[in-house]
């Protein structure tokens, strides 16, 4: 089965290729004809994943996979949520997003700093045919960043049962348990 993954992130493409195995040919957005990428205007991770997957399907005619993910902090009522990448007001400024998050949690005791990375992975196989899998990676938020592996909020997220941040884990350790890995594996299981 030939699929397009609605991303230009080489790491995501490589990760999904491993999960899907040799029975599926996976293309990234850089490997298909350019098309206008949609605005992620959904109120949920699933809605944003579907927006991207439907756009890729419409543009290429191929079954399309997309994901949306972010951080949900218990003490902030689930925020930053779908706004994770632009929490500080500027899309993709990891340092500013993390600094704002830590500032908002400065007076929150360690016992109430629970959080989860959430990922919704969607596949679209026809005009009205789709499926979404959602997964979460639970943990807590540190008081200061640690580690250099990963991106986004990885340096302040300690997965449950560990004493290292996500940014202190190897890529293999992270991919074994991460929210994205769980969601993509569940989606891959539906593809057979």
Contact 3, 24 (CB under 8 A): yes
Taking domain 2-191, whether its CATH number is 3.90.1170.50 is answered by no
**Residue pLDDT, tens place only, 134-185:** 999 999 999 999 999 888 999 999 999 999 999 999 988 988 899 989 999 8
**Residue pLDDT, tens place only, 85-99:** 999 998 889 999 999
Q: Which of 23, 30, 67, 68 is catalytic?
A: 68
Banded model confidence at residue 21, pLDDT cuts 50, 70, 90: confident
Mean pLDDT of the chain: 93
Residue 192 has pLDDT above 70, yes or no: no
The pTM of the full predicted model, rounded to 2 decimals, is 0.91
As a whole number, mean pLDDT of residues 44-53 equals 97
Q: Is 128 a catalytic residue?
A: no
pLDDT of residue 11: 75
pLDDT of residue 171: 84
């Amino acid at each position: 089965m030939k699929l397009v993954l609605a991303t230009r992130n080489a790491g995501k493409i490589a990760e999904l290729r491993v999960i899907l195995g040799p029975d599926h040919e996976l293309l990234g957005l850089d490997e298909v004809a350019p098309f206008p990428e949609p605005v992620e205007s959904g109120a949920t991770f699933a809605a944003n994943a579907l927006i991207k997957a439907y756009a890729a399907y419409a543009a290429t005619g191929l079954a399309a996979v997309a994901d949306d993910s972010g951080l949900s902090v218990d003490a902030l009522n689930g925020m930053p949520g779908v706004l994770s990448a632009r929490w500080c007001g500027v899309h993709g400024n990891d340092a500013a997003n993390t600094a704002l998050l830590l500032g908002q949690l400065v007076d929150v005791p360690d016992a109430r700093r629970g959080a989860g990375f959430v990922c919704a992975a969607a596949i679209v196989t026809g005009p009205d045919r789709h499926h979404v899998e959602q997964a979460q990676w639970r943990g807590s938020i540190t008081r200061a960043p640690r580690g250099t592996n990963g991106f986004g909020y990885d340096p302040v997220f300690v997965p449950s049962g560990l004493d290292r941040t996500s940014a202190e884990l190897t890529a293999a350790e992270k991919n074994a348990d991460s929210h994205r890995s769980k969601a993509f594996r569940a989606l891959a299981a539906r593809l057979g």
